Chains A and B, each alone.
Chain A
C-alpha cells in the first residue's frame, strides 16, 4: 500500500519535471525557431525529468522520506531508464539527424546512423580501459560498466564547466580588466565605419554600372565554367571584366575592414556598458565575488600542482576542512539536516573541481578507492560523494543489502 503511495508521489513529480522541461525547451531554447521534430523535445524533457527524479531520490534518501524498498525500486528503475536514454537513444538520434542533413547519405540514413552509433559505442567502451572497472564478478553488459563510463564522462564535463566558470567569472566582473572607453572613442570609430561603408558603396556603384553597360553592349559576362572555361579566362578576358575583378578585390578587402570595425564598435559599446554596470551596487558585489573567486582559483591550482608533484591524494577540500575546523574546535553545534544538503552539494562540486585539477593518476587512485568499496556481500552504499570523514560522527550512513551486486559508482570513501 505504501508502495503505491510512494510510486504515485514519484510519478507526479516526474510528470511535473517533464512539463517543466517541455516548457523550458519551448520558451528558452527554441524561442526563435519552430520545432519540426517533436522527438527532440520529448527526449529532452524525458532526460530532464529522470535526472531531476534521481536528484529528488537522493534528497529523499538523506531526509528519510518514503519507504526504503520503494525508494530502492525507483532508484533502480531510474538508473535503467537514464542509461537506456543516454547510451542508446540520444547518440542514435544525434547520428540520425546529422546524417539526415547530409544530402548524399539521405537515402540510407538509417543505415548510416546505425553505423555512427556503433562507432560511438566502440569509443565509449574504450573509455573504460584505463580505469580498473572490469572485475570478474560483473558481466560485460551490466549496469556497473555503463554507469562507470557515464560517470567518468559526466564528472569530467562538470569539472571542466565549473573550472571554466570559476575563471570566466572573475574575468568578466573584475573591474581591473576594464579599460576606459569614452564617448568620443565610440563616435570616432563609428565615423570610420561609415566612411568605409561609403567607400564600398561607391566601388559597388561603379561595378554595377560597368556590368550594366557591358550587358547592354551585348558582352555576356560568362563565369568560367569547367576546366576549359578556366583556361580560356586566363588568356582572354574582356577589359570590362578585368576592371570588375580588380574592383571586386578592393571591395573584398574593404568589406573585411568594415567587419572588423563593426566588431570593434560593438566591443566598445559592451565595455561601456560593463563600466556602467560596475558602478552599480550589484556590480560592486560581483566585483568582490570576482576577487574572492580569483584567490580561490589560484589556491586550487596551487594545491593541485602540489598534489601532482608530490603524488599525494587530495583528501578534503577547503570548504569541508573549514567546516571541520569550525565544528571541532569551536564546538558549534548546528542543525545537521538543514546544513547537510547545501554544504554537501557545494563540497561535491569542489570534489569535482578537485578531480579535474588533479592529474589523471589521481583520478585512477580515486577510482581504485571506489571499486574497493565493493564488499563481498554485494552491499550497495547509496549516498553519493557527499560523505566525508569529517561528517561521519554526525551523519547517518545508509546501507542496503541487495540481491544483485549492483554497485553505485557514486559512492566515495575517504580514509
Chain B
C-alpha cells in the first residue's frame, strides 16, 4: 500500500501477552496516546491502537513509522475455541510485549505459556506442543522476535516489598532474554521523554523495526535525505487478557 509516493506502509506486529485484568489496555492507551485511560473495561476480542514512532530519533537516518498494538482478549487457560480464534491474529508477528501484574505472582508464571502459544503459532492450536508447559530455554534461544517484559501496577506494591518483587521480575526478564520495564499505567511520568523507561521502549521499537525491515532485505536501507520521511510500519501488539 503506498500513500503519496513517500509513504510506504507495511505491517509490523507487536504482541502483548498477559492475563486478565493486568492492565494491557491502559498500557496501550498510555503508549499510543500519552494519556491515562479513564475507564478501562474488559477487552473482548481484539482491540488495536497505533503509535507513531521515530526510528533512530536524532540521527540523520530518522524515519517515522506506525506501530500497531494488537490487544487480544482471553486468558491462557481459556477454551480451545477461543484459542483457535486468537490464532487468527498471530500472523506476521514482529515483536512481543509480555505484560504481567507486579502484585500477582501467578501472572508472571503464565507468561511462559503465553509466549509458547505465540511462538508456536504455526502448529495447529489443538495440536501437541513441543514442551509440556515447563519453561524451556531452548525455545527462546533461537527466537528472532524481540521481546519486552512490562510489569504493571507498580504503585500498588508497598515500599518494603519492592526490592524483592523487582529482583524476581529481573530474573524473569533474563529468562526471556528481554528488556524489562516496571511502571504504573495510571501515571504518565513513568514514560516521560528522557526517562530510562522511555529510552528502553524506543530501543525496543527500533529493534523491532530493524528486524522487520532491514534484516529481511538482507542489507541496510541507505539513509534518506529527508528527515521527516514517513515510513509505514504497523506493529500489532496482541494483548492477552
Contact = CB atoms under 8 A, between A and B. Distances in A.
Interface of A: 31-34, 190, 193-194, 197, 200-201, 204-205, 207-209, 211-212, 255, 258-259, 261-263, 265-267, 269-270, 272-273
Contact of B45 (A204, A208, A262, A270): A262
Interface string B79-100: 1111011001100000000000
A266 B32 contact: no
**What's the dominant secondary structure at chain A's contact region?**
helix
B107 A269 contact: no
Interface stretch (B46-54, B172-180, B190-198): B46-54
Contact of B50 (A193, A201, A266, A272): A201
A266 B106 contact: no
B66 A197 contact: no
A204 B49 contact: yes
A292 to B, nearest CB: 27
Given A32-B75, A34-B106, A270 B66 contact: no
A193 B81 contact: no
A270 B88 contact: no
B48 A197 contact: yes
A259 B19 contact: no
Nearest to A211: B33
Contacts of B9: 205
Given A201-B48, A262-B45, A262-B46, A32 B110 contact: yes
Given A200-B48, A201-B50, A208-B66, 20 more contacts: A31-B106, A32-B110, A34-B104, A193-B88, A194-B88, A201-B68, A204-B50, A205-B66, A208-B52, A209-B52, A211-B33, A255-B47, A258-B47, A261-B45, A262-B45, A262-B85, A263-B44, A263-B45, A272-B81, A273-B81
B51 A266 contact: no
A259 B44 contact: yes
A200 B89 CA distance: 14
B105 interface: yes
Contacts, number: 76
Contacts of B51: 208
B105 A34 contact: yes
Nearest to A274: B81
A266 B81 contact: yes
Contacts of B48: 197, 200-201, 204
A276 to B, nearest CB: 10
Nearest to A272: B81
A37 to B, nearest CB: 13
Contact of B80 (A194, A205, A262, A273): A273
A269 B88 CA distance: 12
